[in-house]
Amino acid sequence: MKVRKGLKYLAAMVMAALICLCTMVIMDGYHMYQDAVAQVSLEEKVASIRSKENYTTFDELPEIYVDAVLSVEDHRFYNHPGIDMIAIGRAVFNDIRAGAFVEGGSTVTQQLAKNMYFTQEKELQRKVAEVFVAFDLERNYSKNEILELYVNTIYYGNGYYCVKDASEGYFGKAPNDMTDYESTLLAGIPNAPSKYAPTVSPELAQKRQEQVLARLVKCGYFTEERALETLAAGNVL
């Protein structure tokens, strides 16, 4: 009986400690968020991004490129409020199983928040701050505006920090002129630009493109036949 009571007491203490730790992380993250937006407001950040010379609007993006990006980065993008609890739960499970940060679970909105305000280091407080900025973005901007800002702030390798620089640099054309092959190739690069940039490794870039096409099929945007035709188009370029 005493052993059972002792175990219950220990479990209660561990639970209390975890709650305290989570509360501290959330509070620290909230303060990080407050400090960030106090230094530069969200509106100022957005205005700065939109003032870029090579800024690309959502209407200038090929539909297949948008579908490809969402398929590999955030396929529930239009249905979540800035965070995806399903993706977060899966990421937490995989991270615990691996004993390290191996999966992020971040939505496009969270990735945009990180690009706008924070470093790339995986810290819990930063992840919390990122969530608060993501909620701000979702409250103040449409989904298409958020996606538009996202593709104008992510790194595509080879010194290209927006979709227009990347499409012109890799293919010599504006984003709205990209083919299905080019769109799906470009959509896969930001996951790991140092590996998947075609100027670094054409072979790895193609393997990543195959993953993008598989996701397009799984998400219902492509048929298997269209995916194979898209990949084959690279052999005649």
pLDDT value for 200: 94
Instruction: Return the pLDDT at 172.
Output: 97
For residue 97, CA distances in Å to 94, 103, 170 come to 5, 11, 38
Residue 104: predicted pLDDT? 55
For the chain, the structural domain boundaries read: 1-60+81-148, 155-237
Q: Which residues of the chain have pLDDT under 70?
A: 1-18, 21, 87-105, 120-122, 235-237
User: Would you state the structure tokens that stand for residue 162, as one six-digit string?
Assistant: 């927006």
pLDDT for residue 96: 46
pLDDT at position 20 is: 72
The reported pLDDT for the residue numbered 47 is 98
Pick the CATH number of 155-237 from 1.20.120.160, 3.40.50.1370, 1.10.3810.10, 3.40.920.10: 1.10.3810.10
